[in-house]
Structure 1
């Protein structure tokens, strides 16, 4: 019942002017920053490890901004998934090397976990005439799961979500057939699926899936960096990476993290620092959270 009421609230929120939605997100974000103490500690640890040169005042400011941006981006799902398509197109600007997404060449979109990742999906599926696939993790609540699935695949040509349980062969086949793959490999999925490579100088369990899928799918890798703006979102398509992948998946994954650091440095408060990025530690190293 509560999940259905929440979805109804989001549908109604879609009709409000964007400044009001963002103001509500700002207020709720500050409230969450104050009351959700365990998650605030996670953000603090992440920032302390990745930006040891910052002052404590800098970290506190970015911590507050992280909660605000995360909340605003969540409420933005209301209009991304329910507003008139022209409203969405006007607010979500696809910029940069958009030509990289033309045609049917096997292509993987490296989409890091910035708060605007849902806007990135929406912008690509609405404005690029290609089918987009992604590895989808089911939500525990079936009502919410159906809402998220429908919202993320609102636009596009025959969108095709793939569950994490599906085999590599099916995913690789889709890439080779010309589907755009929207891949978010910059999270900690545990030691079974990961290798340890540096992330801001800290050993981080990282899935080598970008290198693996690019090699098996014979695909180019195109970074997609989404920024939350006062007008909506900028979905920036970057030039494809030269000489990627190599024959060394560990070196490729380390390079991915290094380039991700450069994207984060441009807007550190918009990265998804609420995730326990360093939960899995190398053997013998103590936990950080």
Structure 2
């Protein structure tokens, strides 16, 4: 089994072109040392300041919410936008928490629900496709997950090799291993061996290996059919999980939801895309203000249809 090799620190990372990256990583470390309530206040302030410098991202966020929830009252949508901006700023702090906090400090802020579902599947020796969405606290969720189980995560190396070094170290701190996102062979091998594979099928990954399926009020959302490939080839169980920050005191609940065992449509990628988008919807609605609405989720359209942005 070929897991993604750990990047090594290079002396070239000390060159001026990487100083900004080193400062960012050091800044995240120092922030992680602060009390949670101070981090929370600073995170909200950072989000509100940063969004002013990213008008295109704000426009994307607003458009995504309009597309997904066209009947949502304007006041409710505006409140959701404000909360999402706050949580976007807090994501930097939650990344620092994930990469630098001790296990003891992480454990103080996390509770778990539904672990019995995983225990049963592991006792059966069945592979588990742990399906998440790109919530803004996903980095912290991955670290918290490592307190109870180790698995393999689908990994996209960062284009900046210096940042990739620190990102990889952070994401494997809880005992996880990484598989390159294009290494389907290793994904299949790990699932066949009864391992846990962390997978996030909620983004628009483009026209390769895709189907158009409903997502909220958007009737044709470009959806990866990779989920169907993994299930068809390994007979793994799909296990949705969510990570939700419950309050301003920094308590998170990691919930393992009811597995889809033998109920996911086989050898029908389009039906599979419809089912997985329902899973995605339920996961997002666990805390819609904590989801990554900044992503252009509906950028890929069926041939001949105009852009939604």
TM-based fold match above 0.5: yes
Q: In the alignment, is the contact (CA less than 8 A) between 2:240 and 2:279 conserved in 1?
A: no
Partner of 1:86: 104
Q: In the alignment, is the contact (CA less than 8 A) between 2:97 and 2:140 conserved in 1?
A: no
2:179 maps to 1:162:
yes
Q: In the alignment, is the contact (CA less than 8 A) between 1:30 and 1:67 conserved in 2?
A: yes
2:230 maps to 1:226:
no
Q: In the alignment, is the contact (CA less than 8 A) between 1:221 and 1:244 conserved in 2?
A: no
Q: In the alignment, is the contact (CA less than 8 A) between 2:264 and 2:275 conserved in 1?
A: no
2:303 maps to 1:287:
no
Partner of 2:69: 51
2:259 maps to 1:240:
yes
Q: In the alignment, is the contact (CA less than 8 A) between 2:80 and 2:289 conserved in 1?
A: yes
Give the TM-score normalised by structure 2: 0.87
Cα deviation digits, residues 90-115 of structure 1 (max 9, x gap): 112222x2022223421110111222
2:187 maps to 1:171:
yes
Q: Distance in 2 between matches of 1:233 and 1:36?
A: 28
Cα deviation digits, residues 123-146 of structure 1 (max 9, x gap): 222222xx4112111111111111
Q: Distance in 2 between matches of 1:220 and 1:81?
A: 29
Deviation at 1:193, TM superposition (A): 2.8
Identify the match of residue 291 of structure 2 among 251, 268, 271: 271
2:127 maps to 1:109:
no
Q: Distance in 1 between matches of 2:165 and 2:135?
A: 23
Deviation at 1:279, TM superposition (A): 0.4
* Pairing of 1:97-246 with structure 2 (within 5 A): 97-102=114-119, 103=122, 104-128=125-149, 131-156=150-175, 159-166=176-183, 168-202=184-218, 203-229=220-246, 230=248, 231-246=250-265
Identify the match of residue 41 of structure 2 among 14, 19, 23: 23
Q: How many residues align?
A: 283
SS of residue in 1 equivalent to 2:65 = helix
SS of residue in 2 equivalent to 1:276 = coil
Q: Distance in 1 between matches of 2:87 and 2:244?
A: 10
Cα deviation digits, residues 221-259 of structure 1 (max 9, x gap): 110111123323211111102433222221121011123
Q: Distance in 1 between matches of 2:73 and 2:159?
A: 39
Question: In 2 relative to 1, CA 232–143 (structure 1 residues): closer, same or farther, beyond 3 Å?
Answer: farther
Q: In the alignment, is the contact (CA less than 8 A) between 1:225 and 1:237 conserved in 2?
A: yes
- What's the Cα RMSD here? 1.5
Q: Distance in 2 between matches of 1:186 and 1:244?
A: 20
SS of residue in 2 equivalent to 1:126 = coil
Structure 1: gaps spanning 5 or more residues: none
Structure 2: gaps spanning 5 or more residues: 1-18
Q: In the alignment, is the contact (CA less than 8 A) between 1:110 and 1:210 conserved in 2?
A: no
